[in-house]
């Protein structure tokens, strides 16, 4: 603290002491003569203000004589009589109070003195008081204050002394007004007293301003807080404002100067920089004005209080309150509060919607009457009183479902939570209530559908299973368990492999792993162990992944179907079809016996003849080896030919299930034609082939495809045989369609298909031949369809019929 500050403090403290002393004076003066009053006053002032002189003149009134009195400072000797001093002052005493007291020659000699004078009484009607000091700064503000207070006190005392002689109404009026003024001053003094005493020590920044707004004092707290020095603060009226946040400076400045100019003080909030940590913190800046007895502004005293936390918490509180209010108002739940008497104290909008009562209708009514159905009211009352008595409430602070009552008495289910709130002396209960009529219904439906689903998965006659995304089985329905005889635990993870035939297990595991890794649908046929008879049966399992919206696999759901019987039936059917096809082949061959015999006997004849001739050439004398060799060559050639023929025949007679290979259709046609060539000749039918080279191979059963060609060709020959005119031919063509399919046609110049037979052509047991059984064409069609193709008949040009079939270039096998 610097010297000036210390002096100031001392001065102020002294000032306060002096003021206290002055206020004590009227008590001492009670009942005293005016002269006594004036005397003690002058002594007190001389002591307090260390004056060089102090002079009082009382006007005579009410029968009392005028009084003049003077006191001189201790350093002075009494060198003048009161009336002498009165002479010096008389020119300006009683005039208007001067702003700047005149400096006059010391009536007692020595240095010039500054004089301050004040009127006694409201209008100076009692007299005047003048104080003089040789100090240049006299009178200081505090001295003015003290003088002002002293003058007032003296006026009171003197007034009291003059009561008897005053007229009643004047006296009472004066009393009233004095009392008023006294009160005002007392208040001012009180404030001053407090402010000043606290200024330096209070933990807030405090300051004083000259009436013109220039800071003349700031306390230590301010200096430390802002980092400014007193000199800096005093250097410029607005220097201190550099501590204010730039954004707040303009409004602060406006409030400040507005308050100063109006002489009313001010209150504003602004952010100040806290130097130690550089934080901007909100401060409440408040100044009160101090006036002297004349109403003159003495100074402004103010504080800057750090309200940052308060403001923060106020803001928080405000927003929290607001939020709470909004939440409560817009809550989906009805929010109702009740006091300990069971009366409703608040009722939000939703409560109105739910219960049908407006807040105005509900607040103040008994909760029990408003929303609690009759059967629960007793329990409610008991529960409330029990809680108030014991602090226990079994339904408090948890969500319960209970019936509530609407306006009109209708009951409905609600979800309710009651939270007790401790107020200062009482309890309040907040009830959060939700109408769950709808959700009850939804829940019930959901439960029903869940139950349905569960019942369905457990009762449908299918085996169902589920697995986690990593392929681990975590669910099997009862059908699976019944079928496999395994427990749910045994099926879990990879346990289901136990039901799979050892020969299939590895492949199933591999395919399942691939699906799990790639997310491709799972499909596998395997032999599964049926617990009931301990036999392995053909089963097929399929599974698909369930994916999230993002495409991640959430689960696998799968089925297992025992299709053993169906597969058996399919195999039986296939077998039966093969059998039938074989019979058909044998029968067709039977029809062709003559041609076939020729085909076989031809090379045999050659072999035997050449064998004989070979022998003859060798037994010649000398042997003709060249001719013998040529004959032997023919034997081999013919034997090879015979062997091929037999091979072709044997394959057609063979009774076997289908065998899928890559079939050269042109080759199959040529082999077939070789078997029926003589049949055609015998019937004077020209049999021709027009085969497109480089047609693609097809996948299928060669024997079955040959059978189709054979049947169609024999049919063609037979139909031509029935006519006895030209042309007489059967042509077998192979070509490729524009779509890449293989097309084979067998056309003839026979009588053609009679319109009445067209529909039944491919029907079983339909035949126009005396020896036919009507299975040829149906078998042909089933063979072609099993190869993924089509077989149909059409009119041939210029006459006859044409049978055609198409096969996919990569046909699948039958």
363 sits near another protein (criterion: CB under 8 A): no
Please identify which residue in the block is written with the tokens 């040959």: 706
638 sits near another protein (criterion: CB under 8 A): yes
Mode of pairing for the β-strands spanning 686-691 and 729-736 = parallel
Contact 151, 120 (CB under 8 A): yes
152 sits near another protein (criterion: CB under 8 A): no
Choice from 189, 515, 595, 711 touching another protein (CB under 8 A)? 595
Residue 32: helix, strand or coil by DSSP? coil
The DSSP 8-state label assigned to residue 65 in this structure reads: P
Choice from 634, 648, 728, 781 touching another protein (CB under 8 A)? 634
Instruction: Kindly tell me which of 193 and 627 has the beta carbon lying closer to another protein.
Output: 627
Beta strands in 502-552 (DSSP E): 522-530, 535-547
Cβ neighbors of 799 (< 8 A, separation 6 or more) are 749, 750, 752
Choice from 17, 444, 568, 593 touching another protein (CB under 8 A)? 593
Exposure class string for 737-750: b at 16+ Cβ within 10 A, else e: eeeebbbbbbbbbb
**488-527: which residues touch another protein (CB under 8 A)?**
none
646 sits near another protein (criterion: CB under 8 A): no
Report the nearest approach of another protein to the CB of residue 647 (Å). 18
The DSSP 8-state label assigned to residue 214 in this structure reads: -
Exposure class string for 292-304: b at 16+ Cβ within 10 A, else e: bbeeebbbbbbbb
- Neighbour count for residue 274 (Cβ, 10 Å): 18
Q: Which residues pair with 661 in a beta bridge?
A: 700
674 sits near another protein (criterion: CB under 8 A): no
* Among the residue ranges 20-28, 73-81, 379-387, 631-639, the one whose residues contact another protein (CB under 8 A): 631-639
Choice from 307, 402, 509, 616 touching another protein (CB under 8 A)? 616
637 sits near another protein (criterion: CB under 8 A): yes
Report the nearest approach of another protein to the CB of residue 615 (Å). 8
Instruction: Kindly tell me which of 501 and 627 has the beta carbon lying closer to another protein.
Output: 627
The rounded distance, in Å, linking the Cα atoms of 248 and 768 is 116
Nearest C-alpha neighbor of 92 from the set 79, 81, 101, 80: 101
Site string for another protein, 678-717 (x = CB under 8 A): x--xx-----------------------------------
636 sits near another protein (criterion: CB under 8 A): no
602 sits near another protein (criterion: CB under 8 A): yes
Instruction: Kindly tell me which of 223 and 607 has the beta carbon lying closer to another protein.
Output: 607
Tokens (6 digits) for 737: 């369609």
Choice from 608, 646, 659, 763 touching another protein (CB under 8 A)? 608
Exposure class string for 318-338: b at 16+ Cβ within 10 A, else e: eeeeeeeeeebeeeebbbbbb
Instruction: Kindly tell me which of 329 and 612 has the beta carbon lying closer to another protein.
Output: 612
Tokens (6 digits) for 114: 């500054």
Instruction: Kindly tell me which of 728 and 787 has the beta carbon lying closer to another protein.
Output: 728
639 sits near another protein (criterion: CB under 8 A): no
Nearest C-alpha neighbor of 414 from the set 468, 363, 354: 354
641 sits near another protein (criterion: CB under 8 A): yes
- Which stretch of DSSP H or E encloses residue 427? strand 427-435
371 sits near another protein (criterion: CB under 8 A): no
- Neighbour count for residue 162 (Cβ, 10 Å): 19
The rounded distance, in Å, linking the Cα atoms of 27 and 682 is 169
The rounded distance, in Å, linking the Cα atoms of 155 and 172 is 15
Per-position DSSP letters for 117-130, written without gaps between them? EEEESTTS-SEEEE
Report the nearest approach of another protein to the CB of residue 595 (Å). 7
632 sits near another protein (criterion: CB under 8 A): no
Choice from 170, 183, 421, 594 touching another protein (CB under 8 A)? 594
Instruction: Kindly tell me which of 537 and 678 has the beta carbon lying closer to another protein.
Output: 678
606 sits near another protein (criterion: CB under 8 A): yes
Choice from 607, 779, 786, 791 touching another protein (CB under 8 A)? 607
Choice from 284, 511, 553, 630 touching another protein (CB under 8 A)? 630
Report the nearest approach of another protein to the CB of residue 684 (Å). 8
Contact positions toward another protein, by CB under 8 A?
A: 593-595, 597-610, 612-613, 616-617, 620, 624, 627, 630-631, 634, 637-638, 641, 678, 681-682
């Amino acid at each position: 603290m610097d010297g000036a500050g210390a002096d100031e403090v001392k001065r102020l403290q002294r000032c306060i002491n002096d003021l206290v002393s002055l206020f004590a004076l009227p008590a001492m003066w009670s009942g005293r003569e005016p002269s006594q009053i004036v005397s003690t006053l002058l002594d007190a002032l001389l002591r307090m203000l260390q004056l060089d002189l102090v002079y009082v003149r009382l006007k005579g009134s009410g029968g009392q004589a005028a009084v003049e009195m003077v006191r001189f400072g201790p350093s002075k000797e009494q060198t003048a009589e009161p009336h002498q001093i009165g002479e010096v002052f008389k020119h300006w005493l009683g005039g208007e109070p001067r702003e700047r007291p005149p400096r006059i020659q010391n009536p007692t000699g020595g240095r010039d003195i500054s004089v301050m004078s004040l009127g006694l009484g409201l209008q100076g009607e009692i007299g005047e008081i003048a104080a003089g000091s040789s100090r240049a700064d006299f009178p200081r503000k505090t001295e003015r204050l003290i003088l002002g207070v002293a003058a007032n006190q003296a006026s009171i005392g003197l007034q009291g002394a003059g009561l008897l002689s005053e007229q009643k109404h004047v006296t009472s009026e004066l009393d009233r007004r004095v009392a008023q003024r006294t009160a005002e001053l007392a208040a001012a003094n009180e404030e001053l007293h407090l402010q000043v005493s606290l200024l330096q020590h209070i933990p807030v920044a405090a300051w004083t301003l000259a009436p013109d707004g220039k800071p003349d004092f700031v306390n230590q707290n301010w200096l430390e807080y802002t980092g400014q020095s007193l000199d800096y603060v005093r250097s410029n009226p607005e220097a201190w404002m550099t501590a204010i946040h730039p954004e707040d400076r303009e409004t602060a400045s406006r409030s400040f100067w507005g308050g100063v100019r109006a002489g009313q003080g001010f209150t504003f909030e602004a952010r100040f920089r806290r130097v130690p940590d550089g934080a901007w913190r909100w401060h409440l800046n408040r100044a009160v004005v101090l006036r002297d007895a004349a109403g003159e502004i003495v100074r402004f005293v103010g504080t800057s209080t750090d309200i940052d936390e308060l403001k923060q918490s106020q803001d928080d509180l405000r927003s929290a309150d607001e939020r709470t209010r909004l939440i409560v108002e817009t809550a989906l739940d009805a929010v109702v509060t009740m006091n300990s008497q069971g009366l409703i104290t608040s009722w939000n909008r939703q409560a109105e919607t739910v219960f049908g009562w407006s807040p105005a209708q509900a607040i103040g009514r008994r909760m029990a009457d408003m929303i609690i159905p009759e059967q629960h009211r007793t329990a409610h009352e008991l529960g409330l009183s029990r809680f108030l008595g014991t602090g226990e409430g079994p339904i408090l602070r948890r969500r319960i479902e209970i019936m509530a009552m609407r306006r009109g008495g209708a009951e409905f289910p609600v979800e309710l939570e009651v939270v007790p709130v401790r107020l200062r002396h009482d309890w309040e209960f907040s009830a959060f209530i939700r109408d769950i009529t709808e959700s009850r219904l939804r829940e019930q439906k959901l439960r029903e559908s869940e139950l349905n689903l569960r019942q369905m998965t457990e009762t449908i006659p299918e085996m169902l299973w589920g697995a986690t995304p990593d392929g681990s089985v975590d669910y099997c329905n009862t059908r699976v368990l019944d079928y496999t005889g395994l427990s749910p635990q045994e099926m879990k993870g990879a346990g289901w492999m136990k039901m799979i035939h050892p020969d299939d297990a590895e492949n199933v595991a591999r395919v399942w792993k691939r699906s799990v890794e790639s997310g491709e649908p799972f499909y596998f046929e395997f032999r599964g162990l049926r617990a009931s008879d301990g036999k392995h049966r053909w089963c097929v399992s399929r599974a698909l992944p369930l994916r999230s919206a993002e495409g991640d696999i959430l689960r696998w759901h799968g089925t297992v179907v025992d299709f053993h019987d169906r597969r058996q039936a399919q195999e039986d059917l296939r077998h039966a079809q093969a059998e039938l096809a074989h019979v058909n082949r044998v029968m067709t061959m039977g029809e062709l016996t003559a041609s076939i015999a020729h085909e076989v006997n031809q090379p045999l004849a050659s072999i035997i003849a050449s064998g004989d001739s070979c022998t003859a050439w060798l037994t010649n004398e000398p042997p003709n080896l060249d001719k013998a060799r040529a004959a032997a060559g023919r034997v081999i050639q013919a034997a090879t030919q015979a062997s091929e023929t037999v091979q072709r025949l044997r394959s057609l007679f063979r009774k076997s299930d289908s065998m899928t290979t890559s079939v050269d259709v042109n080759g199959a046609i040529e082999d077939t034609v070789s078997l029926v060539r003589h049949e055609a000749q015998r019937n004077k039918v020209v049999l021709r082939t027009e085969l497109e080279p480089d047609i693609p191979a097809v996948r299928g059963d060669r024997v079955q495809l040959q059978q189709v060609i054979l049947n169609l060709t024999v049919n063609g020959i037979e139909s031509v045989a029935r006519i006895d005119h030209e042309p007489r031919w059967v042509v077998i063509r192979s070509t490729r369609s524009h779509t890449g399919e293989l097309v084979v046609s067998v056309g003839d110049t026979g009588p053609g298909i009679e319109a009445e037979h067209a529909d039944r052509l491919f029907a079983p047991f339909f035949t126009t031949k005396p020896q036919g059984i009507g299975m040829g064409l149906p078998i042909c069609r089933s063979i072609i369809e099993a190869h993924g193709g089509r077989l149909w008949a059409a009119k041939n040009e210029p006459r006859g019929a044409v049978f055609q079939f198409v096969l996919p270039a990569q046909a699948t096998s039958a």
